Amino acid sequence: MTRYDLAGRTVAITGSTGGLGTALAAAVRSRGANLALLDLDGDLTRAAEHFGHLDVAVADAEIDTIAPTATLDPAAFERVIDINLTGVWRAFRAALPHLLAHRGYLLAISSMAAFAHSPLQSPYAASKAGVWAMCDSIRLKVRHLGIGVGSAHPPSSAPR
């Protein structure tokens, strides 16, 4: 078995109903993986129970809001942070106990917005930069357990 062999592995994807999530799910399925398409992080436990194990958890849920900071509704800002950043943390936290046995992998779908910022997307850029930093921090903590952690940074033109 090679490092990237997904045959027989269980891959759970949260936020899998968008363009990128749908494409990722199709690619994973075509490589022979058991696939769990989820809306919420709590479903990760049910997926692990259904398939008997979990090898990879992908956190892909996201939203955006476009507005200048001066007129941005604070609730809209908080919602972007909650879904894009805190949602990844929740998914990772729920998945970690299930990944330990199989030395699995956590993947967060971030964005190039973590590095290249738009003047009207401050909450989105902040959330995606936070995802990148959080993944790096979690990676440092769990790598000795054999768990990999990564973040993907597609351009904003990628299908979402």
Number of domains in the chain: 1
- 10 Cβ contact list (under 8 Å, min separation 6): 33, 34, 35, 36, 47, 48, 51, 52, 53, 54, 55, 56
With respect to residue 64, please indicate whether it lies within any of the assigned structural domains. Answer: yes
With respect to residue 1, please indicate whether it lies within any of the assigned structural domains. Answer: no
pTM of the model: 0.91
Domain that holds residue 62: 10-152
Six token digits for residue 32 = 């022979």
Q: Is there a catalytic annotation at residue 4?
A: no
Bridge partners of residue 56, in order along the sequence: 11, 105
With respect to residue 104, please indicate whether it lies within any of the assigned structural domains. Answer: yes
With respect to residue 21, please indicate whether it lies within any of the assigned structural domains. Answer: yes
| Candidates 124, 128, 130, 142; catalytic one | 124
The CATH number of whichever domain residue 75 belongs to comes to: 3.40.50.720
CA distance 6 to 30: 9
With respect to residue 116, please indicate whether it lies within any of the assigned structural domains. Answer: yes
With respect to residue 157, please indicate whether it lies within any of the assigned structural domains. Answer: no
pLDDT tens, per residue, the chain with 160 residues: 346 789 999 999 998 777 788 889 999 999 999 999 988 666 888 999 999 999 999 999 899 999 999 999 999 999 999 999 999 999 999 999 999 988 999 999 999 999 999 899 999 999 999 999 999 999 999 999 999 999 999 986 454 5
